[in-house]
Each structure stands twice: as C-alpha cells, then as structure tokens.
Amino acid sequence: MAWCIITNMKRRTDGIIVRQPGDTDFEGILELRWRVLDEPISCSRETELTKNDLRPEAIHVAAFDGNVVISTVRLDPYPKLGEHVYLVRKMATDPKYRRRGIGADVLLEAERISAGRGVTRLVLHSRPDSVAFYKTLGYRLNGRTEMHDGVEDPEMEKTIT
C-alpha cells in the first residue's frame, strides 16, 4: 500500500519510539483513532484508510510501545488558508499513555517533518478539553470555531519554521 515512508525515529528513554508509520501499522492507527476519537461520541468505526490518509502529501506520525500504536496524528494540506498551511487531524493518544509527553513528541515530530516540506503554519480544530494541551506546544486560539460532530471546536494555529 505504501502510504508513507519511514524516516527518522525518535527514541525516548522509556522505550517508546516516535516515527512515521509503515504499511503494517495502519490497523493499529485505525483502532486507536476509533477507540479514542470516534467510539466516545458514537461514530461508526473506520476499517480502512480514507482517501485523505492515502494522499501523498499527508504526513503521518505515530508513537509505538513495541508494535502497539499508542499515539498518532495526521497533517493534511489546508489550501483554504494558504499554500503552506496544513491542518492537524486525527490526533489521538491512548489514555493509558497520557501525561507522559508522548502526544507532544508525536505532534512535534509531525511539525518537524512538515517544516521540512515548506509548511509555515499549522491549524487545528481542538476538542474543548484539549485546548490546554495544544497551548503548551505553542498553539494559540485565533477566535474562529468549527463544528464537528455537533460540538463547536475552537480553532488554534501555530507558525512553524
């Protein structure tokens, strides 16, 4: 399927590895997304990668404890806000692994990769209970909101170099 190429990986002192996922990792990514993002709000389970997942310009990063996906994010081009703007999507971390900096490492690695591709700004639509997390990574509220699954999510953004 070749939906992304493994590049650098970040090894943490706790044995967790942060890297771009390979072809065999997609099942774990879909499972984590469903369990963390969709099941709590009664959305149907995706069993296949979407066309956005498969776009060559999409950036995927995940964290692994052994072979188990424990955190993931996808960045997509966001042309409605400009040529060098990407949208942070599908950010999910297994609740058992939260508050250990793993989600932050995943997003920071995605930022590093996107900056290398010429991206200058990232935008995201945060669930209200995640705003504080994104603020710790330098994202700021911009006053706009977006409706997702019946909830008004605040829009946040960050300039990257």
Q: What is the pLDDT of residue 141?
A: 96
Copy the structure tokens of residue 52: 């956005």
- Average confidence (pLDDT) over 10-32: 88
Residue 39, pLDDT above cutoff 80: no
Half-sphere exposure of residue 54: CA atoms within 13 angstroms, side-chain side: 6
Neighbours of 88 (CB within 10 A): 25
Instruction: Tell whether the model's pLDDT for residue 4 goes beyond 60.
Output: no
pTM of the model: 0.87
- ∠ Cα 46 76 98 (to 5°): 65
- Rounded Cα gap, residues 6 and 84, in angstroms: 23
With 0-12 / 13-18 / 19 or more C-beta atoms within 10 angstroms meaning exposed / middle / buried, residue 136 is exposed
Query: Lowest-confidence range among 57-66, 80-89, 99-108, 140-149?
Result: 140-149
Q: Average pLDDT, stretch 41-58?
A: 79
For 9-159, CATH number? 3.40.630.30
Average pLDDT, the chain: 88
Of the given ranges (3-12, 22-31, 52-61, 73-82), which has the lowest mean pLDDT?
Answer: 3-12
